[in-house]
A and B are shown apart, each in its own frame.
Chain A
């Protein structure tokens, strides 16, 4: 089933974006607000939204969210507000994320909102030595096995899948993009922003990266009526890690895996680095996705080539 290419048909109502004040959220709001009313929700105070965007600073897990979603005319919810902070206490983190999503599900079901989009990640498949080179949407989500920090995201993804089957009236879309690069403050962008990039001696896995604006365009396409299900999203063709770092003109510091693991673990505990040691697996094994389904059904196609995608991490962060 082919859908109309972007710009998505303007929806006959408003879109609620959670986590609207995140770096990706702000870009999404800007991409949407000219075609449809946008309501941004975030726990942060808004900073520089276009004047026609309604913004509410509130705790996403609070009951006030329900009052907002109760309003007539809301036709879609885009959930970007997943808390990912490796420093936060696990129970708080996990409880908050699950509670927020449950609240959203309840509201979407109760007020019969026809569309729900959750931004998950290709990381939920987990980097593993025996991974197929390109993982399909039906591959098991094995990330939590080696890597408990990502458990939240895996559970949210599975929770949303359950919702998808329970509520056929709502078109639920789960997007699983590969490493998002840009002004966003996620682990892969932070990693590539380092002046000297540490790598693992003797390991050079193939990588997929995707530009933040391509992810935004995928979310916009996911809002088209008729789109539903799980979609992997990736950008330009895969590239070896070493080649990506070379294209960025950075120096690498290869470290033996055993040493790197101990060192990163210590540095994380001393709060010198924000990378948990388990994330080293992402620069050790492949975790790449096959996004042919998104290309076929959402008519998604990345517009940024490899060079543009990689250099996006160096863009000035205050120019949005």
Chain B
């Protein structure tokens, strides 16, 4: 075969190959788009537009930025709809305007916050941005700090909570804090002590509190306990002992089924600067309400994974 013919043949083969590749690529894109539509829902663009409109009118001083938030919502949609197949109950209980979501915190990694945020974006009408109060050491972490502020998360200090509620935002707080999220598996669905700060702010700003029970997060990472000496040595809040991390692929959370139970809004009155004992009584009511929602939800669920 002379070199010219060979070259032509190679070219033919190559073009046929590239054609095939292009077809495959287009097919894959169609499938991806299809899945995307299914996961994101038919009204995704509308929901994004609603929020874009809101934050164009009044720019957010906390750094919420809709382009990044949209991307984050796309990733969260996968976990929300496909991976954890979240079931949402009573989301219509969340009133319009300022509101404080109080939830149980669990699961070693704060996926519960992301799923609650997804539910408020994908399942609530109209969609809302969930502003979670994050730990004070988050801003010291590169990338995480920039990302969190762009998707609307704020440092958990009372001034920020007050300002956001006055801006009629939806705030999410986990009064159990690190104690809650780092619980070992043996204490799953048992609430830790609640902090009192959220109640003072709710009373001061006349904000309704919506108790939320998150079911399914406790089983995503099974923790056998906390290595307190390792946490101290590394200067981090907790060092959970999670055996599944040693298994290849076990770094991903187990695909448990998430169930979110939203309770009726609770309104509290009185003096926000009252004694701790008085405030603690009111906090106790919220805690009992979440405990009750948890018990009800757990008794109704058929299995952890389905």
Contacts and interface: CB of A to CB of B under 8 A. Distances in A.
Interface of A: 129-136, 200-206, 237-238, 240, 256-257, 285-286, 288
B143 interface: yes
Among B136, B141, B146, the one with the most A-chain Cβ atoms within 10 Å of its Cβ is B146
Given A134-B163, A286-B139, 12 more contacts: A131-B155, A131-B157, A132-B159, A133-B61, A133-B159, A133-B160, A133-B163, A135-B159, A202-B145, A204-B146, A237-B61, A240-B65
Nearest to B138: A129
Contact of A206 (B62, B136, B143, B163): B62
Contacts of B65: 240
Given A202-B145, A203-B146, A204-B146, A134 B61 contact: yes
Contacts of A204: 145-146, 149-150
Contacts of A256: 142
A60 to B, nearest CB: 37
A201 B159 contact: no
Given A133-B154, A133-B163, A136-B159, A203 B142 contact: yes
Contacts of B5: none
A206 B61 contact: yes
Given A206-B61, A238-B61, A132 B157 contact: yes
A130 B139 contact: yes
B59 interface: yes
Q: How would you classify the secondary structure of chain A's contact residues: helix, strand, loop or mixed?
A: loop
Contacts of B137: 129
B142 A132 contact: no
A237 B59 contact: yes
A203 B63 CA distance: 12
Contacts of B146: 202-204
B140 interface: yes
B139 A201 contact: no
A83 B237 CA distance: 43
Contacts of B59: 237-238
A131 B149 CA distance: 13
Interface in B239-270: none
Nearest to A139: B159
A206 B155 contact: no
Interface string B120-160: 00000000000000001111111111100110001101011
A203 B160 contact: no
5 contacts: A129-B138, A129-B140, A131-B155, A132-B159, A237-B61
A256 B139 CA distance: 15
A215 B94 CA distance: 43
A205 B155 CA distance: 12
A128 to B, nearest CB: 8
Nearest to B146: A204
Q: Which of A129, A133, A136, A288 is packed against the most chain B CB atoms within 10 Å? A: A133
Contact of B139 (A129, A238, A257): A129
A151 B159 CA distance: 25
B63 A206 contact: yes
A136 B157 CA distance: 13
Contacts of A131: 155, 157
Given A130-B155, A133-B163, A201 B61 contact: no
Interface string B78-91: 00000000000000
Nearest to A285: B139
Contacts of A130: 136, 139, 155, 157
Contacts of B138: 129
Nearest to B155: A130
A134 B162 CA distance: 11
Given A132-B160, A133-B155, A133-B163, A202 B139 contact: no
Contacts of A202: 141-146
A270 B163 CA distance: 44
Interface in B177-231: none
A238 B55 CA distance: 13
Nearest to B144: A202
A305 to B, nearest CB: 12
A83 B213 CA distance: 57
Nearest to B141: A202
Nearest to A200: B142
Nearest to B63: A206
A205 B138 CA distance: 12
A132 B155 contact: yes
Contacts of A286: 139
Contact of A257 (B136, B142, B144, B154): B142
A129 B63 CA distance: 15
A203 B157 CA distance: 20
B72 to A, nearest CB: 15
Contacts of B143: 201-202
Contacts of B139: 129-130, 205, 285-286
Contacts of A129: 136-140, 155
B41 to A, nearest CB: 29
Contacts of A237: 59, 61
Give the most central of B139, B143, B144, B150: most A CB within 10 Å.
B139
A317 B233 CA distance: 53
A125 to B, nearest CB: 12
A288 B61 contact: yes
A203 B155 contact: no
